[in-house]
Structure 1
Amino acid sequence: MRIDGTLVAPSDYNVIAKSGSWLRFERVTGVSIYGGTLDAQGTKLWACKNSGKSCPKGARITAPGNSPNTDGIHLERSSGVSIMNSHIGTGDDCVSIGPGNSNLWIENISCGPGHGISIGSLGWDLQEAGVQNVTVKTVTFTGTDNGLRIKTWARPSNGFVRGVLFQDAAMVNVRNPIIIDQNYCPHHKNCPDQASGVRISNVKYQDIHGTSSTQVAVKFDCSKTHPCSGIRLDKINLTYRGKAATAFCANAGGTATRVVEPTSCL
């Protein structure tokens, strides 16, 4: 399916609300969608929500959990974007945040199935714009591969991630509830024996609770040449099969305050 130009939704948001979907694909195999622009004409809907009136709910994005490379929402080279009040279930990241993003607000999101909310992958290019000032709050992850993730390639880069707040997240049987992976190198191609040049700093995790489907619920696997700094844990409570989970740290520095379970390894 090729889109030439702009595909515009009805100007009356109630039309889509009553139909249940704007674009829908069912029982298909080998579909590619490329080109063009999607204009959902959301201005009137957001005006309604800001007025306090009763308005249709936010977006609902669904795809099977085994569908490859189906990010729900991908952001790149954007600023001042808000994603709110949405349910996203897919086969890849519910929300993925690529290079060059700043001043993002993500709130009241339900994610599952999927790979969680990810900053990254970053650091593929040597010269790459960074990510800064990102807030993710009031989110629920159900049966996802990851919860809150920052992921960078194990390659030289001048990129960075800084000024991130993950707040009030509920995990329900999530494989990696909290994870920083700076050694991403699938199939050991294009990056073996290298280290990530992306600098990660000033990332805060506050009020993260729920259950992990693996023993290691908190994993900070940072770059050996550019260690993570300023990682802050505040009020973390993650368990594994009704018992204490564990944490893993490599090349990560920071602090932990109030109750933090599993015990901090920073």
Structure 2
Amino acid sequence: MLQLLIPYISSLSTTVCLCVSHRHTMAFLVNFLAFHFLFTFFHYSSFATNVNYNVQTLGAKPDGKTDSAKAFLRAWTSACSSAQPATIHVPSGRFLLGATSFSGQKCRSRAITLRIDGTLVAPSNYNTIGNSGTWIKFKRVTGVSVIGGTLDGQGANLWACKNSGRSCPKGSTTLAFYNSKNIRISGLSSINSQKFHILVYGSQNANLVGIKVSAPGNSPNTDGIHVEKSTRVKIMNSKIGTGDDCVSIGPGTSNLWIENVACGPGHGISIGSLGWELQEPGVQNITVKSATFTGTQNGVRVKTWARPSKGFVKYVLFQHIAMVNVENPIIINQNYCPDNNNCPNQVSGVKINDITYQDIHGTSATEIGMKFDCSKRYPCSGITLNDVKLTYKNEPAHSLCINAHGKVC
């Protein structure tokens, strides 16, 4: 039973809110089955010989002061050229690492594990890697696993620079995979990244499990996990607290499964921002389930620029979600235009349809617990609400719907 009562209607709103019954789309079923069959990574069987390369043996220093990039690259070159499964081992200690890129284009091995028992530390001087784009980069790799350990981006000095209004580097993403396949990241902690903590871009079959992300709530642009132009990505059993989106979903993402993620502090789980480019790939087949949001700016959000675009969002399921004192628990914002810059027509061209909100309970930190502010040119369609109950100060929260069509179960 929907508990948001009669929608709160602004004097500027053209409100079209939501009728009855729910039809479970085939896309959700396909998405579910995909992640139970396509995320079985075929590593070498246990009888295969595994070759080990210890970075400390190859010259890395666990003193947190000596740049160990050359030792890591030596280990990667050996593991990459191996015909057998290979493990690069980082023992206990703090290993300073400058910006480092690992390429898989010429690799013979299709099963390389980076096992971290210690901590990798970025340079404390943000100018050292602040313009490199990525601190630890994997590109065109297949069958790479990153297991355990901590990545310390030491981003505090750069955040202070940005928050002061001075001219600063953009900052580096801590860990990124570009154009890669069959990736596994398990049990990894990322703290105080300069910018994004983890990026999956242009990749297929990535499994992120047991991830811990930590940065202060006021750290700028420190998204926990960003996925873009990728398919068959799974994010499971993770805890993310940061200064931006816990998980952000960019253009061209499909078949993304997010389950059992605790978010806070942060800006929630966001599809977007989308629609910056006219010719932009869409987002589809997204499932977010069994997530908890605590004290976040947003809960589940879709955000698009108020610009012409041929992008789209469709076949999205938000299910079994708990909200604890969240400012905007459920929000679609298609009029995103900070400071009214770069938004020439003030109308979003991104088409949004077939989004289901099911079993979403908890508390809103503001009176309006659900806000659908959709494009006046392309209204949201196919929005389904099923067992949504949000309260504000122990009373049912209000809703605001602009250019939104759908149904309530």
TM-score (norm 2): 0.56
Could you say which residue in structure 2 is the equivalent of 1:263? none
> Given the alignment of the two structures, is residue 249 of structure 1 paired with residue 404 of structure 2, yes or no?
no
Correspondence for 1:33 among 169, 172, 176: 172
> Given the alignment of the two structures, is residue 78 of structure 1 paired with residue 230 of structure 2, yes or no?
yes
> Given the alignment of the two structures, is residue 130 of structure 1 paired with residue 249 of structure 2, yes or no?
no
> Given the alignment of the two structures, is residue 235 of structure 1 paired with residue 387 of structure 2, yes or no?
yes
Q: CA deviation at 1:60?
A: 0.3
> How many pairs are equivalent?
244
Cα pair 2:347 2:375 within 8 Å, conserved: yes
> Given the alignment of the two structures, is residue 104 of structure 1 paired with residue 256 of structure 2, yes or no?
yes
Counterparts in 2 of 1:11-26, with a 5 A limit? 11=113, 13=115, 15=117, 21-26=149-154
Cα pair 1:2 1:36 within 8 Å, conserved: no
| In 2, Cα distance between equivalents of 1:27 and 1:71 | 13
Could you say which residue in structure 2 is the equivalent of 1:60? 212
Secondary structure in structure 1 of the residue aligned to 2:318: strand
| In 2, Cα distance between equivalents of 1:162 and 1:122 | 13
> Given the alignment of the two structures, is residue 195 of structure 1 paired with residue 195 of structure 2, yes or no?
no
Could you say which residue in structure 1 is the equivalent of 2:64? none
In 2 relative to 1, CA 254–116 (structure 1 residues): closer, same or farther, beyond 3 Å? same
In 2 relative to 1, CA 16–141 (structure 1 residues): closer, same or farther, beyond 3 Å? farther
| In 1, Cα distance between equivalents of 2:217 and 2:276 | 26
Amino acid at match of 2:152: R
Amino acid at match of 1:15: D
Cα pair 1:157 1:196 within 8 Å, conserved: yes
Secondary structure in structure 2 of the residue aligned to 1:100: coil
Amino acid at match of 2:172: I
Correspondence for 2:378 among 200, 203, 226: 226
Secondary structure in structure 1 of the residue aligned to 2:245: coil
| In 2, Cα distance between equivalents of 1:178 and 1:76 | 22
Could you say which residue in structure 2 is the equivalent of 1:3? 99
Could you say which residue in structure 1 is the equivalent of 2:122? none
Counterparts in 2 of 1:174-185, with a 5 A limit? 174-185=326-337
Q: Where in structure 1 are there 5+ consecutive unaligned residues?
A: 47-56, 258-266
Q: CA deviation at 1:244?
A: 1.3
Q: CA deviation at 1:190?
A: 1.1
In 2 relative to 1, CA 15–207 (structure 1 residues): closer, same or farther, beyond 3 Å? same
Secondary structure in structure 2 of the residue aligned to 1:81: strand
| In 2, Cα distance between equivalents of 1:243 and 1:103 | 37
| In 2, Cα distance between equivalents of 1:213 and 1:35 | 32
| In 1, Cα distance between equivalents of 2:276 and 2:176 | 26
Q: C-alpha offsets along residues 16-69 of structure 1, whole Å, 9 cap, x if unaligned?
A: 69x984211457301732598469x974959xxxxxxxxxx7110011000111
| In 2, Cα distance between equivalents of 1:239 and 1:82 | 31
Larger radius of gyration: 2
Cα pair 1:120 1:151 within 8 Å, conserved: yes
> Given the alignment of the two structures, is residue 213 of structure 1 paired with residue 365 of structure 2, yes or no?
yes
| In 1, Cα distance between equivalents of 2:396 and 2:239 | 30
Amino acid at match of 2:397: A
Cα pair 2:117 2:149 within 8 Å, conserved: no
| In 2, Cα distance between equivalents of 1:128 and 1:4 | 30
Cα pair 1:99 1:128 within 8 Å, conserved: yes
Q: CA deviation at 1:12?
A: 7.1
Q: CA deviation at 1:11?
A: 3.8
TM-score (norm 1): 0.84
Cα pair 2:315 2:355 within 8 Å, conserved: yes
Could you say which residue in structure 2 is the equivalent of 1:91? 243
Q: CA deviation at 1:228?
A: 0.1
In 2 relative to 1, CA 34–208 (structure 1 residues): closer, same or farther, beyond 3 Å? closer
Identity over aligned residues, as a percent? 58
Cα pair 2:300 2:330 within 8 Å, conserved: yes
Secondary structure in structure 2 of the residue aligned to 1:23: strand
Q: CA deviation at 1:13?
A: 4.9
Q: CA RMSD in A?
A: 2.8
Cα pair 1:111 1:140 within 8 Å, conserved: yes
| In 2, Cα distance between equivalents of 1:21 and 1:36 | 13
Amino acid at match of 1:185: C
